[in-house]
Structures are given as C-alpha cells and as structure tokens.
C-alpha cells in the first residue's frame, strides 16, 4: 500500500527515527482529525523480530489518542477491509515507553477471528 501524501509529508527524515521516503513504514508527525498532533510509528511485518505482525503506534503529548484519531490512522496505513486489533496483554507483560500511546496490530500470517458484527 502506498502512503497518502499527507502521511509522507509528515515523515521524520532526520535523527534516530528517520526513515526513507516512499517506504510504508517509519515515524511520522501528523495533524490529526481532532486538531492534535499525532506521532505515528509504523513497523514492518518483514523483520524477523515481528514474526509477521504489522504494527502502528499512535501518541499525543497530553492524552491517549481517541477513537476518531485511531480510526483515521488505521485508514492511512491499512486497506478498509483489514482487521487490526488493540491488545491488552497480561499485566506482567506491560511495557510502557510513553503514557499516551495506543497500538494497532495486524497479522500477515493468519486471518484474525472476529466476534459477531453486532458485538463490535
């Protein structure tokens, strides 16, 4: 999937989080649909360490992103028919690098089971 030009324009091109233009993964600063700057980090499923999982994290400076912002970012990085999930792992496995970050994941190796539509 090719990135939307507004995403490409927000690509971080210098420093630790820099990435090459034109790649679908990297770090981005975007003005979100609710007026807050969003820092978005997208990771590739192609790396051995990711074991076939695509990952996108979304954060703001002062609060976790809301549903509107997460949905907007989901549409920027995945096709409309893609099922992505947010996990709440066992508390013993929590790792918190930033207090205002939420994550979305998509497996490239298996179809993800979904509950009945009426429940979601």
| pLDDT (0 to 100) of residue 42 | 93
Q: List the domain boundaries for the chain.
A: 5-119
pLDDT of residue 48: 62
Model pLDDT for residues 19-63, shown as the tens digit of each residue? 999 888 899 999 999 999 999 999 876 666 667 889 999 999 999
Residues 105 and 77: beta-carbon distance below 8 Å: no
Q: What is the pTM of this model?
A: 0.88
Q: Which residues pair with 107 in a beta bridge?
A: 53
d(CA 78, CA 1): 7
User: Confidence band (pLDDT; 50, 70, 90) for 112?
Assistant: confident
> Encoding tokens for residue 62?
């002062």
């Amino acid at each position: 999937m090719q990135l939307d030009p507004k995403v490409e324009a927000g690509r971080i091109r210098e420093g630790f989080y820099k990435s090459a233009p034109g790649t679908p993964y990297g770090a981005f600063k975007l003005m979100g649909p609710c007026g807050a700057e969003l820092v978005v980090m997208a990771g590739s499923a192609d790396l051995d360490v990711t074991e076939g999982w695509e990952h996108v994290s979304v954060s703001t400076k002062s609060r976790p992103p809301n549903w509107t912002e997460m949905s907007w970012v989901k549409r920027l990085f995945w096709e409309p028919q893609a099922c992505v999930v947010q996990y709440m792992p066992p508390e013993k496995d929590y790792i918190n690098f930033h207090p205002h970050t939420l994550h979305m994941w998509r497996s490239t190796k298996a179809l993800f089971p979904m509950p009945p539509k009426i429940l979601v």
